[in-house]
Chain A
Amino acid sequence: MKLHLKFFASLREALGPGETMEWTSAEAPTAGALRQWLRDRSEAHAQALAPGRAVRVAVDQTMAGDATPLHDGAEVAFFPPVTGG
């Protein structure tokens, strides 16, 4: 499936702003499965997206969770806890 991947804040600094990419998941395509798959891309990905790190995910610009399913054309963003206001 085609995904529009985005990173923000410290994740953007570590991994770049993101890209449009093709992804074939070996398991059910979820936000959590994508995060796990991305860890194998590079040492920087492995560190930034490590299981113990506080990473939030949004799917189609709505706050989501690891179990949130992904669809073809989805916009998936990973970012640290938010600190606005």
Chain B
Amino acid sequence: MTASATSAVRIQEADFDVATELETLQAGRADVGALASFTGCVRGGAGEGDLTALTLEHYPGMTERAIEAMVAEARQRFDVLDARVIHRVGRLEPGARIVLVAVASAHRRDAFQACEFLMDYLKTHAPFWKKETTPAGERWVDARVADDEALARWGIASANATGGEAAVPVEPSVAASDNARHPDSTTIADDASLATLSRANPP
């Protein structure tokens, strides 16, 4: 973690501009080699029961604290120079952006992984709740076991969807910012990166 490192978590009703947020992460610094981001959108259309809107509720205060803690954990595990998490609340229609996770890092692998880690963590531990509106009425969205399983890949037991107590880390964080994992030589490291994708660890 560098002295200039900052993180920003925003919960808002308003839309956000992905390009602006990415530019902000990189602005004024030359140590960023990789910017990765994930944008989640309201999915409507075929097979989704004619969704007309999603309404998102959150726990003001706790939501921000929880995500700040997730960003801190991501910094422990990965080489994160800066990060943004923006999550919208209120009524959102199909096609609307819901969430942005963006990470600036020296190297792509840490940027990709930190983004995915933050999304897996957020989906199972940040206090948001989605309600679907369809022509048939409204219903609260059920939590998915698959989301708990996604977090478990990072060594964090999760039982959000299935009951039980809140998750506890089952192994200590791996050392952050290990440059040995990112030798500047290209070919061998890149082959090794690709090889990991074909192992049990899914992308």
Q: Which residues of A contact B (CB under 8 A)?
A: 6, 8-10, 12, 54, 56, 58, 61-67, 77, 79-85
The residues of A that contact B167 with a CB separation of less than 8 Å are 63
Q: Which of B99, B129, B165 is the one whose CB lies under 8 Å from A83?
A: B129
**Which residues of chain A have C-beta atoms less than 8 A from B87's C-beta?**
84-85
| Neighbouring A residues of B160 by C-beta, 8 Å | 56, 81-82
Cβ-defined contact, A82 with B140, below 8 A: no
Closest 8 CB pairs of A and B: A84-B128, A65-B165, A81-B143, A9-B129, A63-B166, A61-B62, A85-B123, A83-B141
B172 at the interface (CB under 8 A from A): no
- Which of B51-59, B104-112, B180-188 contacts the other chain? B51-59
Residues of B at under 8 Å CB distance from A? 40, 56-59, 61-62, 65-66, 87, 98-99, 119, 122-131, 140-143, 147, 160-163, 165-167
Query: Which of A6, A9, A65 counts the most chain B CB atoms within 10 A?
Result: A9
Residues in chain B near residue A6, CB distance under 8 A: 59
Number of CB contacts from chain A to chain B under 8 A: 89
Task: Give the distance in Å from the alpha carbon of A51 to the alpha carbon of B62 in the complex.
Answer: 25
Are B165 and A85 in contact, CB atoms less than 8 angstroms apart? no
Whether B128 contacts A82 by the Cβ 8 Å rule is yes
Q: Which residues of A contact B161 (CB under 8 A)?
A: 54, 81
With most chain A CB atoms within 10 A of its CB, the pick from B124, B129, B143, B162 is B129
- Whether the pair A85, B166 counts as a contact (CB closer than 8 A) is no
With a cutoff of 8 Å between Cβ atoms, the chain A residues found around residue B66 in the complex are 61-63
Which interface residue of A10, A58, A61, A81 has the most chain B CB atoms within 10 A? A81
Given contacts A79-B129, A80-B129, A85-B122, 18 further A-B contacts (CB under 8 A): A9-B140, A54-B161, A56-B166, A62-B65, A64-B166, A65-B166, A81-B161, A82-B127, A82-B129, A82-B143, A83-B141, A83-B143, A84-B56, A84-B99, A84-B122, A84-B123, A85-B128, A85-B147
Shortest Cβ distance from B127 into A: residue:
A82
Chain B residues closer than 8 Å to A65, beta-carbon distance: 165-166
Task: Give Cα A79 to B128, complex, Å.
Answer: 10
> Taking CB as reference atom, which chain B residue is nearest A55?
B163
- Nearest-neighbour CB distance to chain A for B99, whole angstroms, equals 6
| Residue in contact with B62 in the complex, picked from A9, A12, A58, A81, CB distance below 8 Å | A58
B99 pairs with A9, CB closer than 8 A: no
Q: Is the CB of B127 within 8 A of A85?
A: no
Q: Is the CB of A9 within 8 A of B166?
A: no
Task: Please name all residues of chain A whose beta carbon is closer than 8 Å to the beta carbon of B131 when the two chains form the complex.
Answer: 9
